[in-house]
């Protein structure tokens, strides 16, 4: 009888401990549970453009990743269900992020990011993580409950694991430029610190010399014939409209700069990747003085991006002319483009795709 009572007593104690631990776990989970907040207006550079439904988790604001991406023009979106990974592009640069991951990829650079979360079958990204991913400065404005976006970003919030060197690499600038802009006397930085970004003239991506990827080509014609055909093909779409981050399904009626070149070259057996940054990694470098029809010319777009990235490209036609899809005029020809101040100031490099 005493033996039975002892066993029962131990069972009672174990049960009590299990209940206590379960209660503590439930309390912890409840404390970590997200909180719905009212729909927030989204303003880009002070102009209200959309609304979004954020949540608050551990006191931090998160926004739906794909909705924010579309607001910023990242319309081409792919999702890997098995790994809960998103790839998105605005036509300039591909970004890639995995739910729960502390590193993401923007173009060819890895960046530190506070982990996105998968909640109720929706991907949410914290505001500071969104800033790193999309190269904007984004914050919550409590006065009116809005999400404010500064584009292009003029400042950067330091993340865990950052160094001045990593920040400089991601923004195509130098450590000295960042230190000078922020009057820093040492290389010491800390998470949460706001750094001013150097001026656009000190942030320009140089041609990725180690990324001369082979071009996928199935056209057996001689190179001069291919060049002529490419230029003739490119001119078929003069007057087509422009859409930032256009999807491939919208061709040939709507293009951005890289979906345009991708479509034109594909009609003649040359497969280019989707983004201007990826296209910049193809072929061989060629100087302005040695351009041939069909070469690709690349530019930065400081009014859109503050990381000095490749932001625009066009197809060289010969005689100093370039045909391209631009945000202002759609598909058109810019005659003697290097005599135009804007293209002079933002020119980066040129690549030869057709050898």
Q: Which residues are catalytic?
A: 257, 312, 324
**Helix, strand, coil abundance in the chain, percent, nearest 5:** 30, 30, 40
The DSSP bridge pattern shows strands 103-106 and 109-112 to be antiparallel
216-231 as b/e: b if 16+ CB within 10 A: eeebeeeeeebbebbb
Beta strands across the sheet bearing 47-52: 47-52, 40-44, 146-150, 137-141
Q: Is residue 107 exposed (0-12), middle (13-18) or buried (19+ Cβ within 10 Å)?
A: buried
Give phi and psi for 31, each to the nearest 5: -65, -35
User: Helices 257-266 and 223-235: crossing angle, nearest 10°?
Assistant: 130
Tokens matching residue 215:
């071009």
């Amino acid at each position: 009888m005493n033996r039975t009572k002892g066993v029962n007593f131990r069972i009672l104690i174990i049960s009590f401990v299990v209940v206590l631990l379960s209660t503590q776990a439930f309390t912890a989970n409840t404390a970590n549970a997200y909180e719905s907040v009212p729909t927030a207006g989204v303003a880009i550079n002070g102009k209200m453009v959309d609304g979004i439904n954020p949540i608050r988790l551990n006191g931090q604001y998160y926004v739906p990743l794909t909705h924010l991406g579309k607001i910023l023009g990242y319309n081409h979106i792919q999702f890997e269900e098995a790994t809960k990974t998103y790839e998105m592009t605005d036509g300039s640069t591909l970004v890639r992020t995995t739910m729960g991951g502390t590193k993401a990829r923007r173009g060819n650079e890895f960046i530190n990011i506070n982990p996105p979360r998968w909640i109720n079958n929706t991907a949410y990204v914290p505001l500071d993580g969104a800033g790193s991913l999309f190269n904007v400065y984004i914050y919550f404005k409590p006065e009116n409950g809005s999400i404010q976006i500064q584009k292009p970003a003029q400042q950067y919030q330091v993340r865990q694991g950052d160094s001045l060197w990593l920040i400089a690499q991601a923004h195509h600038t130098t450590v000295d430029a960042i230190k000078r802009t922020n009057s820093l006397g040492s290389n010491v930085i800390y998470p949460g610190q706001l750094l001013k970004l150097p001026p656009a003239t000190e942030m320009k991506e140089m041609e990725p010399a180690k990324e001369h990827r082979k071009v996928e080509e199935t056209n057996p014609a001689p190179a001069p014939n291919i060049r002529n055909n490419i230029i003739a093909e490119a001119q078929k779409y003069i007057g087509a409209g422009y859409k930032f981050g256009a999807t491939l399904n919208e061709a040939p009626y709507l293009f951005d700069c890289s979906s345009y070149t991708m479509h034109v070259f594909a009609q003649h057996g040359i497969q280019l990747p989707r983004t201007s940054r990826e296209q910049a990694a193809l072929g061989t470098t060629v100087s302005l003085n040695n351009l041939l029809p069909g070469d690709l010319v690349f530019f930065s777009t400081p009014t859109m991006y503050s990381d000095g990235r490749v932001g625009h490209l066009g197809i060289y036609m010969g005689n100093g002319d370039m045909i391209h899809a631009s945000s202002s005029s759609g598909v058109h020809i810019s005659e003697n483009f290097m005599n135009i101040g804007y293209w002079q100031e933002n020119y980066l490099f040129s690549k030869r795709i057709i050898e």
